[in-house]
Amino acid sequence: MKRQRHSRILATLGPASSTPERIRELFEAGADVFRLNFSHGSHEDHAARYHTIRQIEKETGRSIGILLDLQGPKLRVGTMKDGRVTLETGQKFRLDLDPAQGTSQRAYLPHPEIFAALEDGTDLLLDDGKLRLRVDSFGQDFAETTVMVGGPLSDRKGVNVPGVVLPISPLTEKDLVDLKFGLELGVDWVALSFVQRPGDIREARELIGDKAWIMAKLEKPQALEHLEEIVQLCDGVMVARGDLGVEVPPQRVPVLQRQIVRTARAAGRPVVVATQMLESMISSPVPTRAEASDVATAIYSGADAVMLSAESAAGQFPLEAVSIMDSIIKEIENDPSWRTILEANHSTAEASTADAICCALRRVASILEPATNVAYTTTGFSALRASRERPIAPILALTPRVETARRLSLAWGVHAVPCEDVSDLGEMIDHATDMAAQHEFAQAGDTIVMIAGVPFGTSGRTNLLHVATVPQK
C-alpha cells in the first residue's frame, strides 16, 4: 500500500480503537505507525493490539511500526479530605511526607526527590499548571509555600517542577517491567518519557541495545539545555507539547517546537510533533480551523510525523481523526510553497561520504525527476540520511531486515520493504527496478536513482549512487 504523502501519521490505540476491524480501518485511513501507551491498559490489551497489527502487516504487505510509550515518573500529591479542597491565592500551603489526607492547609507529596532538589523561590505547578505555589522554605521532608494561583485541588493531581533537574531516573519499576514485556513482544520504537539529560538516553540504551530504536520525548525544559547531545544519542525525537506546555509559558511552545524540529532534521533523526493536534475531535467529527493549521505548521516545518493521542485512543471519532489528518497532510504537500519552505529550511550536510552521496541524490533527483529513489539499507542508516535531504520523489528503502523496515515506517518519505540481500551491482540494479515496479513506484521506462553501500552488506557505509531505467518486461 503506497501512501500518497511524505509525512507520516502516528496513531495511539486505546478503548476506542482496540478491535481488529477498527485497527485495520485506521491503517487503511492513513495510520503508518501505532502507539501503545503503557500509561493505560494491561499487558494483555497491548499484546492483543500488537498481534492484530502484525496480522494486518502480513495481509497488506506494508511494514507497520509499533511504538511503546513508557509512562515514566508520575509525580502526584496524595488524597484530599472529601476528595477535594480549595486553595486561596495568597494563603500558605505545606507539602510534606505525612501520608495523612490533605486539607486546605497541607497535602501529602510522596516524592522526597522533589524536596531534595528545591530552592527558595522555586515554583511548583499542580494539576497541569492550574495551581501555582511559590516555595518559601523547605527541608528534606517538607516545603512551605505561598499559593500564587489558587483553585480546587483533588486527589492525586500531578506536580511539575519547572526549571529544576530532579535526581530521578526516567525509568520507574513499572517502566522496567513494561519495557521487558514490550521488547519480548517485538516493538520497533520505545518512547522514553521524562528525559532531562543525555545520561537518561544512555541509561535506556544499556537496557534496550539494538532491540528497538529509542525516541526521546522532549517534555522537560531541562532537556532543551542539552538538546543537540540528546538528539545525537537517540534515534528519534517527540515534541511532547503536553507537559512541555505546562512547564514553559504557552507562547514559548511554538518557538521550542521549531527549535526541536530543526535540530532533529539537521541530525537526520525522525521527529514527531504530538499532543492536542486535533483535540476537539475527541468529541467532534471535524477539527477546529486552528487545529488544522497546527497540523499544517508541523508539515510545513518538515516534521517526519504528527501524532494522534486521545483522538484515536479514546475519542468518539478515531477513524475521522486519522482521515482528516491524512487529508491535511496531502493538502499541504500539494501546496507549491511547501517545497520552497522545505528547501529554505534545509540544513548543511555533514562532511561525510554518506551525506555527500545523499546530497547528490537530492540534486540529481531535482534535475532528472525520477519516479522514485531507492536506498539499499541494512540498519536503516542510508534511508535515514536520504530522508534527511527531503528529496522530491519518495524513497523506496530495500532492506534484508524486517525490523529495519518497520522502524523506518516513521521516517519522512520512506516506504520500506523487506527483501533479500544483493551481492553485486548488476543484481542491485535488477532488484531495485523490479521492486520499484512491483510496489508501484515506477513503471517501464521510468528513471530511478539508487544509493547503497559497497561492499554490499556493510552497514553505515553509503558510498554509491547509480541512475537506472526500469526495463520493459
Pairing of strands 271-274, 305-308: parallel
Q: Going by DSSP bridges, is the β-strand pair 33-37/8-13 parallel, antiparallel, or unpaired? A: parallel
One-letter amino acid identity for 33? V
Measured CA to CA in angstroms, residue 323 lies from 25, 209, 214, 258, 315 at distances of 10, 35, 28, 25, 14
Report the DSSP beta bridge partners of residue 108: 96
- Rounded to whole angstroms, the Cα distance separating 318 from 37 reads 16
Query: Taking the CB of residue 289, how many other CB atoms lie within 10 A of it?
Result: 8
Q: Tell me, what amino acid is at 159? A: V
Residues known to be catalytic: 35, 76, 217, 275
The 8 Å CB, 24+ separation contacts for 137-143 are 139/115, 140/112, 140/115, 140/116, 141/96, 141/97, 141/112, 141/115, 142/94, 142/95, 142/96, 142/97, 142/115, 143/94, 143/95, 143/96, 143/109, 143/114, 143/115, 143/118
Q: How far is CA 126 from the centre of its chain?
A: 26
Nearest to 97 by CA among 85, 111, 87: 111
To the nearest 10 degrees (0 to 180), the angle between helices 173-185 and 198-208 is: 50
**How far is the C-alpha of 256 from the C-alpha of 259, rounded, in Å?**
5
Residue 420 grid cell? 533479500
Sheet of 464-469: strand order equals: 414-418, 395-399, 372-376, 447-452, 464-469
In 3-state terms, what secondary structure has residue 12? strand
**Total residues belonging to the chain:** 473
SS3 358: helix
Confirm if 260 and 271 have CB atoms less than 8 A apart: yes
